[in-house]
């Protein structure tokens, strides 16, 4: 991480020293009476919730006197609820969040430092190599952890094996090949690529991946107060993304995640720049549907990478039980329980722990082995994947407002000039920084 980025992020070292925090270890709740921890979780997949419930039951059995109350709050609602709870002084003790939201909270000074949790799970060597970027995002300017990597994934290029083969083409690796494939697969009632332009996360993640593939970004990572969304590279990506809409089905611009994923199961769409997590929707439509698709890294135009989906762990410093809260976070990253979590949803949850990533149980799992092409595309992407807006602490705010998607909506739906649309959004970002 560069010196400028380190200067920009808020250090938690002084807070850690002031609180005089002790290293993580077994809970002393049994000696001091009953302790209740509130744990917020935005992951609503029933299989994931079930694993978390089982992990909590095991933790409570091993730590008499500690009760962990699981509160499931969907991603769409949790940021507002976090802020409301913080204002009221009753934030949860621990929560699953994301690197973007955690960076914003760190700037607010509301997070507990977590270096002792990392030490408790084995130090820096505990992390998998594919988690190195997420690890970087989880540290302050002084290299102290304010959030803990939990899982990650990335956007890839999904493609219909049959439609691409019928067009006599290989999976595209460049923008020129991507456009040629989209054109070749568009005829009759089938379309070459799905291009959402709704003001939603599905548009944001797809367009941002194209911006990275062009060598652009939202901010200068070495000087994150400098907004670059209206740079030539980002504008070129917005222009190219918008031009691909001609190969997308009528009305598809308004699709959000449910509609987009459903459209990909019809057999009428050739490609889609979207997250590895779409595998779940394809499998839900039937094994024959999932088998129709392959995945490769997002085609490049001088850049590399794609949007990195992620979950991280946080502890709020309003907690009355910081030691127990951090002990529970370490327990969530215990390899035995953690392996169960990532196997509940392998296409969304790539392991951040080296021990789990290389374990025979994980590698030989039938579900993992069956999606090796997809997971390989994600592994190739992760070293250059990023979360839009980071390391600027306004990243979470921009995510909540879907500012990246607003530019695509303006160009594709409103007919605005790409440069003008990008500049308008970039100025909104600049205004939020200056406030």
Instruction: Tell me the per-residue pLDDT of 357-376, one tens digit each, with 9 for 90 and over.
Output: 999 999 999 999 999 999 99
DSSP assignment string, 55-67: HHHHHHHHSTTEE
Helix or strand holding residue 219 (H, E): strand 219-220
SS3 state of residue 212? helix
The backbone torsions φ and ψ at residue 271, rounded to the nearest 5 degrees and listed phi first, read -150, 165
What's residue 227's pLDDT?
A: 98
∠ CA 281-52-277, rounded to 5°: 20
Sign of CA dihedral 203, 392, 123, 45: negative
33 pLDDT above the threshold of 80? no
- Distance between CA atoms of residues 96 and 79, nearest Å: 11
* Share above pLDDT 70 across residues of the chain, in percent, rounded to a whole number: 92
Average pLDDT over residues 175-192: 97
Q: Looking at the domain assignment, is residue 82 inside a domain? A: yes
User: What pLDDT is recorded for position 76?
Assistant: 81
> Within 10 Å of residue 331's Cβ, how many Cβ atoms?
23
How confident is the model over 251-279, as a mean pLDDT?
93
Top pLDDT among 4 and 165 is at 165
Whether the bond between 391 and the residue before it is cis, its omega within 30 degrees of 0, is yes
Question: How large is the average pLDDT for residues 170-175?
Answer: 98
What pTM did the predictor assign?
Answer: 0.87
Report the alpha-carbon distance of residue 184 to residue 193 in Å, rounded: 10
Which range, of 7-21, 43-57, 74-88, 395-409, averages the lowest pLDDT? 7-21
242 found inside a domain: yes
Q: pLDDT digits over 198-219, tens only?
A: 999 999 999 999 999 999 999 9
Dist. CA 435–CA 430, nearest whole Å: 9
Q: Is residue 421 in a domain?
A: yes
Q: In the 8-state DSSP scheme, what is residue 350?
A: E
Domain for residue 352, yes or no?
yes
Torsion of the alpha carbons at 364, 366, 257 and 45, rounded to the nearest 10 = -90
Task: Judge if 85 and 181 occupy the same domain.
Answer: no
Q: How far apart are the first and last CA of the chain?
A: 26
Secondary structure (3-state) at 232: helix
Considering the domain architecture, whether residues 141 and 168 belong to the same structural domain is answered as no
Question: Tokens in use for 75?
Answer: 């991603």
Q: Does any domain span residue 13?
A: yes
Tell me the pLDDT of the chain averaged across its residues.
Answer: 91
Q: Is residue 375 part of a domain?
A: no
Average pLDDT over residues 281-292: 92
Q: Is residue 148 a contact partner of residue 175, using CB atoms and an 8 Å limit?
A: no
Q: Within a domain: residue 385?
A: no
In this prediction, residues 61-75 reach a mean pLDDT of 96
Q: Is the pLDDT of residue 8 over 70?
A: no
- Provide the pLDDT confidence category of residue 84 given band limits of 50, 70 and 90: very high
- Residues 407 and 293 placed together within one structural domain of the fold: yes
The answer on 215 and 119 residing in a single domain is no
Q: Is residue 338 part of a domain?
A: yes
Same domain for 219 and 349? no
pLDDT at 30: 41
Do 21 and 136 have their domain in common? yes
Q: Give me the number of domains the chain comprises.
A: 2
Are 334 and 402 found together in one domain? Answer: no
Give yes or no: residues 45 and 194 share one domain.
Answer: no
Residues 412, 265: one domain? yes
Q: Return the CA Rg of the chain.
A: 22
DSSP 153: -
pLDDT value at residue 400: 80
- Contact in structure between 4 and 222 (CB atoms under 8 Å): yes
CA atoms of 144 and 343, how far apart (whole Å):
29
Are 22 and 139 in the same domain?
yes
Contact 126, 354 (CB under 8 A): yes
**Residues 118 and 247 placed together within one structural domain of the fold:** no
Both 183 and 298 in a single domain?
A: yes
Encode pLDDT of 297-309 as tens digits. 999 999 999 999 9
What's residue 187's pLDDT? 96
Q: What angle do CA 70, 75, 81 make, to 5 degrees?
A: 70
User: What pLDDT sits at residue 133?
Assistant: 95
The answer to whether residue 32 scores a pLDDT higher than 90 is no
DSSP string, 405-420: HHHHIIIIIT---HHH
Q: In which element (H, E) is residue 104 found?
A: helix 99-108
Structural domain boundaries enclosing 125: 3-152+309-370
Instruction: Report the CATH number that the domain containing residue 74 is assigned in CATH.
Output: 3.40.190.10
Cβ neighbours, 10 Å, residue 220: 16
Helix (H) or strand (E) holding 29: helix 29-32
């Amino acid at each position: 991480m560069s010196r400028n980025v380190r200067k920009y992020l808020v250090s938690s070292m002084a807070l850690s020293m002031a609180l005089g925090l002790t290293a993580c270890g077994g809970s002393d709740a049994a000696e001091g009476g009953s302790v209740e921890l509130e744990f917020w979780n935005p992951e609503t997949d029933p299989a994931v919730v079930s694993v978390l419930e089982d992990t909590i039951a095991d933790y409570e059995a091993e730590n008499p006197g500690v009760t962990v109350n699981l509160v499931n709050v969907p991603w769409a609602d949790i940021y507002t609820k976090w802020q409301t709870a913080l204002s009221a002084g009753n934030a949860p003790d621990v929560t699953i969040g994301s690197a973007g939201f955690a960076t914003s909270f760190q700037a607010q000074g509301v997070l507990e430092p977590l270096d002792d949790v990392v030490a408790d799970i084995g130090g820096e060597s505990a992390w998998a190599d594919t988690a190195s970027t997420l690890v970087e995002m989880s540290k302050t300017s002084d290299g102290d952890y304010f959030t803990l990597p939990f899982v990650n994934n990335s956007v890839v290029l999904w493609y219909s094996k049959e439609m691409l083969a019928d067009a006599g083409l290989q999976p595209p690796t460049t923008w020129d090949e991507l456009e040629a494939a989209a054109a070749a697969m568009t005829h009759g009632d089938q379309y070459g690529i799905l291009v959402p332009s709704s003001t939603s996360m599905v548009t944001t993640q797809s367009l941002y991946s194209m911006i990275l593939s062009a060598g652009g970004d939202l901010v200068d990572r070495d000087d994150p107060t400098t907004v670059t969304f209206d740079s030539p590279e980002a504008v070129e990506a917005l222009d190219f993304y918008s031009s691909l809409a001609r190969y997308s089905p009528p009305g598809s611009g308004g699709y959000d995640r449910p509609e987009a994923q459903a459209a990909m199961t019809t057999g009428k769409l050739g490609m889609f720049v979207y997250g590895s997590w779409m595998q779940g929707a394809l499998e839900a439509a039937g094994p024959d549907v999932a088998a129709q698709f392959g995945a490769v890294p997002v085609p490049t135009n001088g850049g590399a990478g794609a949007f990195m989906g992620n979950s991280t762990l946080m502890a709020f410093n309003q907690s009355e039980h910081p030691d127990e809260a951090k002990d529970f976070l370490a327990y969530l990253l215990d390899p035995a329980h953690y392996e169960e979590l990532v196997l509940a949803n392998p296409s969304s949850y790539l392991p951040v722990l080296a021990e789990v990533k290389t374990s025979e149980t994980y590698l030989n799992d039938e579900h993992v082995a069956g999606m090796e092409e997809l997971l390989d595309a994600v592994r190739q992407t992760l070293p250059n994947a990023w979360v839009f807006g980071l390391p600027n602490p306004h990243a979470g705010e921009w995510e909540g407002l879907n500012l990246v998607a607003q530019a695509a909506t303006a160009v594709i739906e409103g007919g605005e000039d790409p440069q003008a649309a990008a500049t308008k959004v970039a100025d909104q970002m600049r205004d939020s920084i200056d406030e």
